[in-house]
Amino acid sequence: CKIDGSPNNLSDVEDPFAKKFEVLFCGRVTVAHKNAPPALIDECIEKFNRASCTKQSDCNSSSQQHETASNFGGFSFSDKFRSVFQPLVSEEEEKRPIRKSFSQPGLRSFAFKKDLQGGSQRSSSFIRSFEEDAISLNLKSQLIYGHSVVQPTDIAENRTMLFTIGQSEVYLISPDTKKVAIEKSFKEISFCSQGIRHVDHFGFICRESSERGGFHFVCYVFQCTDEALVDEIMMTLKQAFTVAAVQQTSKVQPQLCEGCPMQSLHKLCEKIEGLHPSKTKLELQKHLTTLNNQEQASVFEEVKKLRPRNDQKENELVISVLRNMYEEKQKDHVHVGEPLTENAVNEAPSSASRFRLDTLKNKAKRSLTESFESILSRVSIIMLMVIVVTFTEDCVTFDSRFRQTTHKPFCAHYFSDYESKHSQQAIGEDSPVRTRRHSWRQQIFLRVATPQKACDSPSRYDDYSELGELPPRSPLEPVCEDGPFGPVKEERKRTPRELRELWKKAIIQQILLLRMEKENQKLQASENNLQNRRLKLDYEEITPCLKEVTLIWEKMLSTPGRSKIKFDVEKIHSAVGQGVPRHHRGEIWKFLAEQYHLKHQFPSKQQPKDTPYKELLKQLTSQQHAILIDLGRTFPTHPYFSAQLGAGQLSLYNILKAYSLLDQEVGYCQGLSFVAGVLLLHMSEEDAFKMLKFLMFDVGLRKQYRPDMTILQIQMYQLSRLLHDYHRDLYNHLEEHEIGPSLYAAPWFLTMFASQFPLGFVARVFDMLFLQGSEAIFKVALSLLGSHKPLILQHENLETIVDFIKSTLPNLGLVQMEKTISQVFEMDIAKQLQAYEVEYHVLQDELIDSSLNDNQRLDKLEKANSSLRKQNFDLLEELQVANGKIQNLEATVELLLTNEGKLKQSILTLEQERAALLKTVEEMQKKIGDTDGKPLLTRQGHMVAE
């Protein structure tokens, strides 16, 4: 949400010289003066804490207030606030030296009239404004005063912002909403300060317009990760203010006239601003002594007439009288940049007349503009009244009378009368010159949009006779029958039932309009999403996906419950080899990640905390400088990332920031921005973060980004060994010129080839990365070097070889790219990579051992022996525990077997009893049959048989 009336367009914020910092927006406080004491920030934080407590107590006291949510000034107030500030510090920390705060140098506003208007509303003491205990944050006080005194931010919302310091303005950009939250020019900022107890907080005071008219001063408070960042921000602000002040002084100085009466009044206002009324009175008396006796007497008489009650009122009256006096002087003043010479004195009357003429012109323009605006405002009010009245019962009579006397909107009457009067004055009543002609299209428009008056003269259409027969007039216009207006039937009064039907119809139409508006918004959002997706996928595919392959992918992706179904590995491998449709690529990557999780049921031990993505975005990262610097270097030519602090860069910043907070060991490393950028081009921001987490932790890429870079060194060794085994002549050529793989292959591994190669090729590399893991990177590197071996062997020095690999190799054609990808699917180097990794560790141990003497080697072996012995003991203990568990399980099995035998014996006994009972039943049935002469199976017999 927007904090003030700042623009949403991020393209207006582009400034290549701007410095960006990530801050946490804490809230704002309305203050009484544009300057403040050094303890301002600490006082604001205490105000926020008090406001939070007040809000919580209000919510607990009333259930209705608990259900009410209000939003003022761009901030949403939830039911509960949580303090976002540090607790009160100890006495030792309070003894720290007070940090210096500074006011903005040399950038004072010339709008002193507004200062005088708002002066009566300000308190004479700034500190007194912070000692008020009653801070009302309920709905009623908000509506009465128009703005709240204290506005802390809602803890549930994402309050992290990018604080951008430009050449003449300060911006606060929300990476979450991708919009500008605050835009303040340096002229509006009057004070900047850092906290004394809360050294990781800072803020600034700026002037804002009030809803009641006039203006008020607001202090914005922010929090940073640490004190060093606040120091950097304050230093940057100070430098920016100084440079802007110098530039403004150089521009404004030649335009100033030191002899201007209004300039002297402005200097007086600057001198007395912020002074106590008694000191202000002394300064005004000193200034009055510079006037002549007549002017002093007039000021004294004017002030005496109004009889001021105190010094404050008297000072205001004196300033008002001086302003009127200097304004009168300004009318006859001649602007002079330098002391007047004799020639200048002679030319003074002409220049004075010229300045008077300019003044009159400006007044005329101003009066015309104001009159035009007042006319338009009156017209809008009248039309609004007409619309409202038409829904009432008296509307019929009023509307009928209105239509009888008027057949145009008020503005049409005004301009037609104005035009007719001026045309008559210009050409006269008997002039043969006709008025301005209208085309037949304009005539139709005028009849439909602004109905003409009735035929008040027979020559009404004389000017349009040559256009042929005109179409009928507007139905709103009465037909000219008997006289200029003709008889008009009076409209009958609408009955209450008709009025209710009219209201019902209006309500239904309003509901339909609202629904249509929602549908339009949905369509617009859908169109924006499609356009944004089209912009993201703006790259050339190297493997055009056939329709049959696309259908195979769509069938697999649309399988119900696919996240729990294991698909055929060969089928997936074949589908990836034949191609991946670009518009389904992001979903296919998520599908491959799901299949990986099904294949590896037990995740790796190094799994991150399951912190929600949105919660990570609410925190501040210490890696912000490195991330912000690399944003502009990541895909600088791609349209989605090219705009400075555009939607693409802000989304990329969010992903990298969230990962730096999730993985504290890695934080942020160069190269991660390209990996996250490729993911972001194919899926949403949150999904891209999940896939980055999958690649780093599950696939194991995070090892190469760790601070020690040990895994990256192992990878460089593995690549060299692959070249040695598969392309011996190329390996010898590179070794002859002392070209190690770190000179050209390190960016390949750290960015997954994204920093140098086309996006279509990089997308195919990511297809194989999700399918085969990190092994695919070695395959691609080996295939690239092997396929270009003849060209590399032609170069005979280090510079040309490295330049070819870095510059020419990435620009290979589509055919060569497709050939490289096909070779990768046919390679299998998993066993070699494992062997080379073990070989690297063995060689490393040998190298360490060779640098040690006998005693050191003996100590090392003893330590290794003791470590192995300890591991052996641990394993023995685990083995004993396992044997104990096995014995317990065996005893349990024996017990279960014994119980099973007993149960089997019971079953045999029961079966024998059942057979005996069945035999008895048969015998009884026979006896019953013999006695009755026929067999009879009674119900009881059936039951016994069963």
Tokens of 324: 């009127």
Q: Nearest 10 degrees: CA dihedral of 386, 390, 392, 393?
A: 120
The larger pLDDT score, comparing residue 147 to residue 535, is at 535
Please, which pLDDT band fits residue 932 given cuts at 50, 70 and 90? low
pLDDT recorded at residue 800: 94
| List of residues 6+ apart from 212 with CB closer than 8 A | 146
Lowest mean pLDDT across 400-414, 512-526, 544-558, 661-675:
400-414
Lowest mean pLDDT across 75-84, 332-341, 415-424, 811-820:
75-84
pLDDT recorded at residue 447: 57
| Secondary structure (3-state) at 753 | coil
Please, which pLDDT band fits residue 456 given cuts at 50, 70 and 90? very low
Lowest mean pLDDT across 238-242, 404-408, 656-660:
404-408
252-261, 586-595, 812-821 — which one is most confidently predicted on average? Answer: 586-595
Asked if the model's pLDDT at residue 753 lies above 50, the reply is yes
Strand 102-103 to 169-174 pairing = unpaired
pLDDT recorded at residue 858: 82
Mean pLDDT of 199-226: 88
* CA-based end-to-end distance of the chain: 77
Residues found in the chain: 946
Mean pLDDT of 759-782: 95
- Determine contact, residues 291/299, Cβ cutoff 8 Å: yes
Report the 10 Å Cβ neighbour count for 415. Answer: 14
Please report which helix (H) or strand (E) contains residue 529, including its range.
helix 496-536
The larger pLDDT score, comparing residue 814 to residue 688, is at 688
Measured distance CA(701)–CA(699) in Å, rounded: 6
**HEC states along 762-800?**
HHHHHHHHHHHCCHHHHHHHHHHHHHCHHHHHCCCCHHH
Tokens of 618: 């609410």
Asked if the model's pLDDT at residue 908 lies above 50, the reply is yes
- Determine contact, residues 623/668, Cβ cutoff 8 Å: yes
- With DSSP H G I counted as helix, E B as strand and the rest as coil, what are the percentages for the chain, rounded to 5? 60, 5, 30
Measured distance CA(921)–CA(915) in Å, rounded: 10
Measured distance CA(45)–CA(195) in Å, rounded: 9
107-121, 287-301, 384-398 — which one is most confidently predicted on average? Answer: 287-301
Lowest mean pLDDT across 391-395, 492-496, 542-546, 573-577:
391-395
Measured distance CA(195)–CA(482) in Å, rounded: 84
For residue 39, which of 205, 196, 232, 218 has the smallest C-alpha distance? Answer: 196
CA distances from 430 to 417, 425, 435, 457, 819 (A): 18, 11, 12, 16, 90
String of DSSP letters for 654-691: HHHHHHHHH-TTT---TTHHHHHHHHHHHS-HHHHHHH
Lowest mean pLDDT across 395-409, 476-490, 755-769, 903-917:
395-409
| List of residues 6+ apart from 153 with CB closer than 8 A | 25, 26, 27, 75, 84, 159
**pLDDT, tens digit, 9 for 90 and up, residues 607-623:** 888 899 999 999 999 99
Measured distance CA(575)–CA(568) in Å, rounded: 11
Measured distance CA(436)–CA(419) in Å, rounded: 10
Please, which pLDDT band fits residue 739 given cuts at 50, 70 and 90? very high
pTM exceeds 0.75 for this model: no
Asked if the model's pLDDT at residue 288 lies above 50, the reply is yes
pLDDT recorded at residue 129: 34
For 332-487, strand residue ranges (E) read none
The larger pLDDT score, comparing residue 209 to residue 94, is at 209
Measured distance CA(166)–CA(237) in Å, rounded: 9
pLDDT recorded at residue 603: 65
Lowest mean pLDDT across 341-345, 409-413, 637-641, 920-924:
409-413
- Determine contact, residues 85/223, Cβ cutoff 8 Å: yes
For residue 937, which of 946, 925, 927, 920 has the smallest C-alpha distance? Answer: 925
The larger pLDDT score, comparing residue 35 to residue 255, is at 35
Mean pLDDT of 512-535: 88
Q: Which residues of 615-629 are buried (b: 16+ CB within 10 A; e: fewer)?
A: ebbbbbbbbbbbbbe
pLDDT recorded at residue 421: 40
Asked if the model's pLDDT at residue 458 lies above 80, the reply is no
- Determine contact, residues 675/702, Cβ cutoff 8 Å: no
pLDDT recorded at residue 756: 92
Please, which pLDDT band fits residue 65 given cuts at 50, 70 and 90? very low
pLDDT recorded at residue 57: 61
CA distances from 277 to 114, 117, 131, 685, 759 (A): 19, 16, 21, 58, 69
pLDDT recorded at residue 622: 93
The larger pLDDT score, comparing residue 612 to residue 309, is at 612
Mean pLDDT of 729-742: 93
String of DSSP letters for 238-298: HHHHHHHHHHHHHHHGGG--TT-HHHHHHHHHHHHTT--HHHHHHHHHHHHTTS-HHHHHH
pLDDT recorded at residue 771: 94
Asked if the model's pLDDT at residue 735 lies above 80, the reply is yes
Tokens of 526: 């859908």
For residue 464, which of 494, 498, 488, 434 has the smallest C-alpha distance? Answer: 434
Measured distance CA(157)–CA(618) in Å, rounded: 8
Asked if the model's pLDDT at residue 331 lies above 70, the reply is yes
DSSP code of residue 452: P
pLDDT recorded at residue 161: 92
Mean pLDDT of 539-562: 90
| List of residues 6+ apart from 615 with CB closer than 8 A | none
Average pLDDT across the chain, whole number: 75
CA distances from 642 to 408, 647, 709 (A): 53, 10, 30
Radius of gyration of the chain (CA): 43
**pLDDT, tens digit, 9 for 90 and up, residues 132-164:** 333 333 323 333 333 447 888 877 788 899 999
Measured distance CA(895)–CA(427) in Å, rounded: 124
Lowest mean pLDDT across 296-300, 444-448, 755-759, 790-794:
444-448
pLDDT recorded at residue 210: 77
| Secondary structure (3-state) at 134 | coil
DSSP code of residue 332: T
Using CB atoms within 10 Å of the CB of residue 475, give its burial: 0 to 12 exposed, 13 to 18 middle, 19+ buried.
exposed
The larger pLDDT score, comparing residue 575 to residue 337, is at 575
Cα four-point dihedral sign 70, 71, 77, 78:
positive
pLDDT recorded at residue 473: 42
Lowest mean pLDDT across 44-48, 192-196, 358-362, 873-877:
358-362
Mean pLDDT of 717-739: 94
The larger pLDDT score, comparing residue 465 to residue 230, is at 230
DSSP code of residue 695: I
For residue 313, which of 303, 305, 323, 322 has the smallest C-alpha distance? Answer: 303
For residue 31, which of 116, 109, 142, 132 has the smallest C-alpha distance? Answer: 132
pLDDT recorded at residue 253: 52
Tokens of 474: 């507007």
pLDDT recorded at residue 604: 63
Cα four-point dihedral sign 765, 770, 776, 781:
positive
pLDDT above 70 as % of the chain = 69
| Secondary structure (3-state) at 106 | coil
Mean pLDDT of 731-739: 93
Q: Which residues of 1-34 are buried (b: 16+ CB within 10 A; e: fewer)?
A: ebbbebeeebeebebeebbbbbbbbbbbbbbbbb
Mean pLDDT of 594-614: 84
pLDDT recorded at residue 660: 95
Measured distance CA(737)–CA(61) in Å, rounded: 81
Asked if the model's pLDDT at residue 910 lies above 90, the reply is yes
Please, which pLDDT band fits residue 442 given cuts at 50, 70 and 90? low
pLDDT above 90 as % of the chain = 40
The larger pLDDT score, comparing residue 775 to residue 445, is at 775
Please report which helix (H) or strand (E) contains residue 170, including its range.
strand 169-174
**HEC states along 41-104?**
HHHHHHHHHHHHHHHHHHHHHCHHHHHCCEEECCEEECCCCCCCCCCCCCHHHHCCCCCCCEEC
| Secondary structure (3-state) at 652 | helix
Lowest mean pLDDT across 145-154, 192-201, 807-816, 933-942:
933-942
pLDDT recorded at residue 301: 87
Q: How large is the angle between the packed helices 710-726 and 728-736, nearest 10 degrees?
A: 120
Longest dimension (CA), the chain: 162
